[in-house]
Structure 1
């Protein structure tokens, strides 16, 4: 998994190749999912032009040679967060707006975890080789994400926190369910969780985060829950 962020302001930025990929270009053997978390922007993929407003998602297929990122308004620049994983087949480059994403309401105000899950890249949405990707928005007054916690031994996961108010913090919990640890996260911070680790968090204010997985399968529900009473 490659985790990254692109923030074009006054000029376009091209997705570079990296020597350690041993590839002719970045997406020669990889796929990529991109979500815009700020101002309106444009992504060009081998000449195809896609406009992304805040919370829109673009999946770009394996074999795409040139990817260019631009902001529509430099005073309100786009911030593109992306996840990329190896791919063995070609799926269509696809744009999915936030309005059209599958939405699931979970949690409650009583347990401070009322949230809306938005699914973008998954079996019933944008198809991919192994990427699963979406975002969660905490409702006002709710601060807990992914609680009760879980692990999924067949996939790793990355979280990217955004819309964290200035001066606030996220306490992100990792580790085995019986031996957890926390790290503090700021706005636009990302964290990677291996398959054996929980991935949960609590903020000092409401926030949003992008989640993304890659591994053995594409089944969003393939997870092993850990009861709150069993956490240590």
Structure 2
């Protein structure tokens, strides 16, 4: 297991960053490595973002004692897990949960052992993890994509026709603060979350995937009056602080997972930015 630490930044500093600095602060490039668990601990709302590809052996979710100060990973945390690969299994304190592609599992505070396995080592599962601090236990719960609450947004005219699937939210799987879901763009559509917004009461992390090898997403970030961009490729994630917009356009359609944390779980709590105010 490896855990990288990222510290919080502020918008006044961020507007001076060059491309390399923007990427080192916000972009997570190498989450998914076969046979490994990789984690990034961000001081932005204490998010932990991770990826794990189990092959021949199960992989255990473990706490880094030095960085987390915990005996086990979920001692003071909750976690959302979405499988973006082939079928796999997550075992939580002896109870098994089979996750097909795009299924989600919420695991609450206090669970001591979490194991990841693939159904076929030659065609492994790819588990994406989002974890935030928690103050009470909510039940472990699986949500298949067929059971998630869908919302159809956008139009082909604006190149943003998409379906949002909500997994962990106020009217779905209950959590302390984690809100998590997935957005699928339809073929021929490339834009997400435009017109854009910020939400000063919470931060967000995006994972882009289902992209061709030569495909990219130009992810927009920064304050509305000081926008910047970073280029993201398949299975790369980006941290979005509360002061930053988070939007993007791809060279083709794609899928992305969004996870939010902060003091407010209301999905609609956002500060919209008028198109004429973007600079």
TM-score range, shorter chain: over 0.9
Alignment match of 1:154 (pick from 191, 195, 201): 201
Alignment correspondent of 1:124: 171
Equivalent position of 1:14 in the other structure: 60
1:229 Cα deviation from its structure 2 partner: 2.2
Question: Which position in structure 2 is the counterpart of 1:80?
Answer: 127
Between the aligned partners of 2:163 and 2:56, the Cα distance in structure 1 is: 33
SS for the counterpart of 2:182 is strand
CA–CA distance in structure 2, aligned partners of residues 163 and 191 of structure 1 = 16
Q: Where do 1:134-153 residues align within 5 Å?
A: 134-153=181-200
Pairing 1:49–2:67 present:
no
* 1:197 paired residue among 236, 239, 244: 244
The partner residue of 1:23 within 65, 70, 87 is 70
Structure 1's unaligned 5+ residue stretches are none
For 1:68 and 1:183, how far apart are their aligned partners in 2?
Answer: 33
Q: In the alignment, which of 57, 60, 65 is matched to residue 112 of structure 2?
A: 65
Please provide the CA RMSD for this pair.
Answer: 0.6
Give the stretch that moved more between structures: 114-123 or 6-15: 6-15
Unaligned runs of 5+ in 2: 1-46
- The CA deviation at 1:75 is 2.2
> 1:133-155 CA distances to partner (integer Å, 9 max, x unpaired)?
00000000000001110000000
Number of residues paired by the alignment? 232
Offset from partner CA, 1:18-54 (integer Å, 9 cap, x none): 1211111110000000000110000000001000000
Moved over 4 A (4+): none
TM-score under structure 1 normalisation? 0.99
Give the secondary structure class of the aligned counterpart of 1:99. Answer: helix
* Map of 2:219 onto structure 1: 172
Deviation string 1:84-117 (CA, Å, 9 cap, x unpaired) is 0000011000000000000000000000000000
Q: Tell me what 1:3 maps to.
A: 49
TM-score, structure 2 as length reference: 0.82
Q: Deviations over 1:136-190 (max 9, x none)?
A: 0000000000111000000000000010111111100000011100000011101
Whole-angstrom CA distance in 2 between matches of 1:65 and 1:131:
19
Alpha-carbon separation, structure 2, partners of 1:177 and 1:42: 41
- Out of 70, 73, 79, the position equivalent to 1:32 is 79
Larger fraction in helix = 2
For 1:183 and 1:71, how far apart are their aligned partners in 2? 32
